[in-house]
Homo-oligomer: A and B are copies of this chain.
Amino acid sequence: MTNSTTRRALLRGTVATAALAAAGTATQGGAAHAGAAAAGAAHAGGADGEQRDGGAGPEIGILLYDGYSLLDPTGPAEVLSRLPGAHVTMIAERRGPVRTDTGDVAVLAERSIAEIDRLDVLLVPGGGNRGTIAAMRNKELLSWIRRIDRHSRWTTSVCTGTLVLAAAGLLKGRQATTYWASADYLRSEFGVTYLPQRYVRSGKIITAAGVSAGLDMALYLASQIAGETTAKAIQLAVEYDPQPPFDAGNAAEADPQLKELALRLLAESQV
């Protein structure tokens, strides 16, 4: 088989012609690009040049820190990277691999915080106890978050990333959500009004519940940046038609034994 026949065939489905046309005329995708202009053209200060189409879309920066939970940054990155013209940049205190809470996986931070002074979207993921606490105490990181937030269009968090935003002082007097087991802490330590929702918007700040809730939040954010049609197309692009085999993900309905086991599995899996 040749490259061209395989490429044609691979995405044939029911929309072969459309897909082919789209692939061949990427820069003419009017509908897909309609939302990008509205997303703002402020770019990451330190990023060295554009990677794809001139950067009409949003600059999305995701902060990694030692001990984050893998899905927190990668779920939203998958969704938001499909926004027209978007760039997603993984950022950390220093460039290089940053390990997850389990220690098993590392995602590369492409930029250090010193290199980035503007973002359209900032996302702060959550992590295990160790990683979250260290991030909450890292004055340089908190200061950078505040600096980026000053000019961002959207400042967002997933899971215990909400606690990091709160530690940076960004959630004063706001409503927010966080990981179910951290809700009391968010309330008592920071006086934040916790709402048990998948995501909570308060002005330009959007917080998401635990880990996988970042996917739902990112789709909402995509709709705010590029419109509902584009967000729906992204949902279809990542085939997000969730059908978990069980119905056990809602802490409000979980019994204490399952909660205990969930927290134990987390604790045991983390380094």
Contact = CB atoms under 8 A, between A and B. Distances in A.
Interface string A80-122: 0111101111100000010010111111101000000000000
B198 A216 contact: no
A14 B87 CA distance: 40
Interface string A122-148: 000000010011001000000000000
Given A102-B88, A106-B108, A14 B258 contact: no
Interface centre among A77, A78, A258, A264 (most CB of B within 10 A): A264
Interface stretch (A149-157, A168-176, A241-249): A241-249
A78 to B, nearest CB: 4
A254 B250 CA distance: 28
Complex copy number for this chain: 2
Contact of A259 (B15, B106, B215, B256): B15
A184 B13 CA distance: 5
Interface residues of A, number: 112
A256 B14 contact: yes
Given A70-B81, A244-B242, A268-B53, A263 B181 contact: no
Contact of A228 (B12, B106, B160, B246): B246
Listed from nearest, the 6 A-B pairs whose CB atoms lie closest are A210-B239, A241-B249, A22-B264, A242-B242, A232-B248, A18-B260
Interface of A: 3, 6-7, 9-15, 18-19, 22-23, 26, 29, 31-32, 51-53, 69-71, 74-75, 77-78, 81-84, 86-90, 97, 100, 102-108, 110, 129, 132-133, 136, 159-160, 163, 179-185, 188-189, 198, 209-213, 215-216, 219-220, 223, 228-246, 248-251, 254, 256, 258-269, 271
